[in-house]
Amino acid sequence: MPQPRVIYWFRTDLRLHDSPALKAALDLKPEFMYPIWTWDPHYVYHARVGSNRWQFLLDCQNDLSKSITKLNPKSKLFLIREAPQTLFPKLFKEWKITHLVYEKDTDAYGRDRDNKVNEIAKEAGVEVITRYGRTLYDSDELVEKNNNKPTMSISQVQAAGAKIGGIPRPVSSPKSLPDPGPTKLSFTQQRPASSPDINAIQRDAEEKSYTSLAGPNGDFAVPSMEELGLKPATTSHRGGETIGLKMLDEIIENEDYTATFEKPKTAPTAFEPQATTLLSPHMHFGSVSCREFYWRVQDVVSKYKGKASKPPVSLTGQLLFRDMYFGAQAALGYAFGQTYNNPQCRFIPWHLPSEIDTKTGLITGKYLVDNAEAEIHFKRWKEGRTGFPWIDALMRQLKLEGWIHHLGRHAVACFLTRGGCYIDWERGAEVFEEWLIDHEAACNIGNWQWLSCTAFFAQFFRCYSPVAFPQKWDKEGEFIRRYVPELKDFDKKYIYEPWKAPIVDQKKWGCLVKGDGSEGAGGATQTYPKPMFDFATQRDICLQGMKNAYHIGLYGNDPKVLDGTWRKLFDDHAEGPTEGTNGPPGAMVKHEDENAEGNGAESDNQETPTAPKDSKKRNGKIGTKEKNEHKRQASQSTLDSMVTRKKKKA
Ligand SMILES: Cc1cc2nc3c(=O)[nH]c(=O)nc-3n(C[C@H](O)[C@H](O)[C@H](O)COP(=O)(O)OP(=O)(O)OC[C@H]3O[C@@H](n4cnc5c(N)ncnc54)[C@H](O)[C@@H]3O)c2cc1C
């Protein structure tokens, strides 16, 4: 019997320690083993990935490649620049492969891709071996033990987990690795189309990663940021198993921290060091195994003499939340990532609804501007110039560093959706997808649904104030001074409400509160924007909208949501694009000419939102004038009204 010739396909498991799939590959006792990565155009062009996450990925790949070479100087991470779906049939033949081994992935795209590759392998007579290792439990098994339903609460995860049995202990790291066989590639590369390129905005030079199969030097090296044409990363958080394991060691060394960790008590305003572990990007890329993390924490907890914390607030509880979202995604597939056709997601007629491809039933990644004011709010939120320093500091930290504390994510997500702007959670999830270094589709989507009270959590009357909430953690406003340096000299009395500071003081502290922040920094005197709305008024509008939508009680898969007749149930004056009695599917708004060439639906520019029929004509407001005045009058209240109100109260 000839010895196996194995491809080990690395994906989101960029590590050598605790890899059940890698162990399965080594257990085959292969003659040759090729550790490979396929450079998939899906991620290069079609998934939103900012420079910071690209850098983290390249760090992980380079670190892994070095670790492989340490165990076998002939081996490395062989990075091959072609989509897996077209590459594998050729590669199986060329390298005479008998087995393909990889870690299971239940991500919606990952599952589709793997099903296709499994078919290709079958046709080629290649045996496929998979093991789960990305989550504590096999997400499919978790769903099965949850009566084949998505896991929507921690108690469901715990109950289903108990039926499965214990979380397996980590497997040990390999001490040696087999040689790779001959690595010649005589077939031609199938180059992907580079358009549409959703990541064009991340680049300042031409993208050249597909110039040849084995890279410019023919050595299968990991591409550089320059080759990808990407702007340089701005984060100091770097990737790789070596760094990740060192971070884990440092956490575990601090037994009190590890054993008594209570998430709600960790400060979202802490930086250098942050209050939580910051292991999330390592969880995403698999540069630290979640089971290694779980068991090392659990072992400290088991031996701890004092009172240890417990799930859901403990560190192991955090990992159970992660498994919960993976379980929900595994059960629902693509529908999990959107409201439309999602049986678990409440339908709320948010502003800036997603465009839906009615053929596939999936959101397209573009959205419609039902209200010009909402579009301005969205842009100001994204760019960190809402005029609320707490929100702006967080959004700037997110863009710069790619990571913010969980409660910071709560604050900005609540503010964008049900507790401020009444904008679709899908818009926020897309921004996080672009900027987070730890972006994990399941966790991002699930947490956005939680925060917008569309799934997992329903207490929409509990809102975060952008003033009182951060004050609880950081009275001095150190976090604001760090990320909104215009305000660094403001007295702590005004640090969360700088618009209240007397003009003489604003001048004294070198920053005037005026404008909308669009003019940017510079000039003799610095400026910081006025708040973009009166928060209290806007929160009331949101609360009313949520109450109304909850009362009507539709979910994403309701036939009325699917065909657009949900509008019948909503008063024309209700918040959101609720006018009329029917309309396009989901919360889409009508186009002047749906099929006209050049409308947003066909445009390549993913950044340009699609404008509705009336948005320009009516000065940014839809519906009849009368309706609009009624609907939006509260949100049109100005800073002056806020000041007046506060003054009256004082
Ligand atoms: C709107 C929103 C979007 C989010 N998007 C993501 C995302 O794309 N990717 C992501 O990993 N997390 C996401 N989270 C969850 C959470 O905020 C981060 O996992 C956490 O802040 C990462 O920091 P940490 O590693 O220091 O976490 P720790 O508190 O140290 O927790 C340890 C680990 O547990 C996991 N974890 C902790 N909290 C959660 C949670 N609520 N949901 C899922 N896993 C959790 C992470 O893997 C984390 O590394 C999001 C939260 C919100 C509110």
Question: Which of 636, 644, 467, 414 lies closest to 537, judged by CA?
Answer: 636
What secondary structure does DSSP assign to 482-536, as a single string? HH-GGGTTS-TTTTT-GGGS-HHHHHHTTEEE-S-STT-S-SSSEEEPPPSS-HH
What secondary structure does DSSP assign to 153-212, as a single string? SHHHHHHHHHHH-SPPPPPPPPS--PPP------SPP-PPP--S-GGGGGBSS---TTSS
Tokens 């953690």 correspond to 473
Three-state DSSP string of 341-406: CCCCCECCCCECCEEEECCCCEEEEEEECCCHHHHHHHHHHHCCCCCCHHHHHHHHHHHHHCCCCH
pLDDT score of 524: 67
* Residues sharing a CB contact under 8 Å with residue 575, sequence separation 6 or more, in sequence order: 349, 422, 541, 542, 544, 545, 548, 631
What is the value of pTM for the model shown? 0.93
Our mutation pick for probing the ligand 1 site, out of 237, 297, 406, counting the most ligand atoms within 8 A of Cβ, is 406
- Closest residue by CA, ligand 1 atom 6: 444
Annotated binding site for FAD: 276-280, 318-325
Looking only at Cα atoms, what is the longest distance across the chain?
Answer: 88
- Closest residue by CA, ligand 1 atom 43: 322
pLDDT tens digit sequence for 543-597: 999 999 999 999 999 999 999 999 999 999 999 999 999 888 888 876 544 433 3
What secondary structure does DSSP assign to 102-118, as a single string? EE---SHHHHHHHHHHH
Our mutation pick for probing the ligand 1 site, out of 291, 414, 438, counting the most ligand atoms within 8 A of Cβ, is 438
pLDDT score of 252: 98
Burial 40-65 (b: 16+ CB within 10 A, else e): bbeebbbbbbbbbbbbbbbbbbbbbb
pLDDT score of 585: 87
Question: Which of 262, 247, 218, 283 lies closest to 81, judged by CA?
Answer: 218
- Beta-sheet pairing, 362-367 with 354-357: antiparallel
Our mutation pick for probing the ligand 1 site, out of 437, 443, 448, counting the most ligand atoms within 8 A of Cβ, is 443
Q: Determine the atom of ligand 1 nearest the C-alpha atom of 266.
A: 29
Q: Residue 303 C-alpha to ligand 1 middle, in angstroms?
A: 26
Q: What DSSP designation does 596 have?
A: -
In DSSP terms, 127 is beta-bridged to: 99
Annotated binding site: 276-280, 318-325
Alpha carbons 108 and 332: distance in angstroms, whole number: 9
State how far Cα 165 lies from the chain centre.
30
Question: Which of 635, 421, 639, 634 lies closest to 530, judged by CA?
Answer: 639
The low-confidence residues of the chain, meaning pLDDT below 70, are 1, 520-524, 590-650
Alpha carbons 544 and 541: distance in angstroms, whole number: 5
Residues 329 and 445: beta-carbon distance below 8 Å: yes
Q: Residue 404 C-alpha to ligand 1 middle, in angstroms?
A: 9
- Distances in Å between the Cα of 523 and the Cα atoms of 13, 483, 516, 527 are 48, 19, 15, 9
Q: Residue 338 C-alpha to ligand 1 middle, in angstroms?
A: 19
Residues 430 and 48: beta-carbon distance below 8 Å: yes
pLDDT tens digit sequence for 314-345: 999 999 999 999 999 999 999 999 999 999 99
**Residue 472 main-chain phi, psi, to 5 deg:** -60, -35
Question: Which of 33, 32, 7, 3 lies closest to 99, judged by CA?
Answer: 7
Alpha carbons 258 and 401: distance in angstroms, whole number: 24
Q: Ligand 1: residues whose CB is within 6 Å? A: 263, 276-280, 283-284, 315, 318-319, 321-322, 325, 405-406, 409-410, 413, 432, 436, 438-440, 443-444, 447-448, 451
Question: Which of 311, 271, 318 lies closest to 293, judged by CA?
Answer: 318
Which three-class secondary structure state does DSSP give residue 644?
Answer: helix
Tokens (6 digits) for 176:
């040696």
Q: What dihedral do alpha carbons 618, 619, 624, 629 form, nearest 10°?
A: -170
Q: Determine the atom of ligand 1 nearest the C-alpha atom of 405.
A: 21
Angle at 318 between CA 317 and CA 319, to 5 degrees: 90
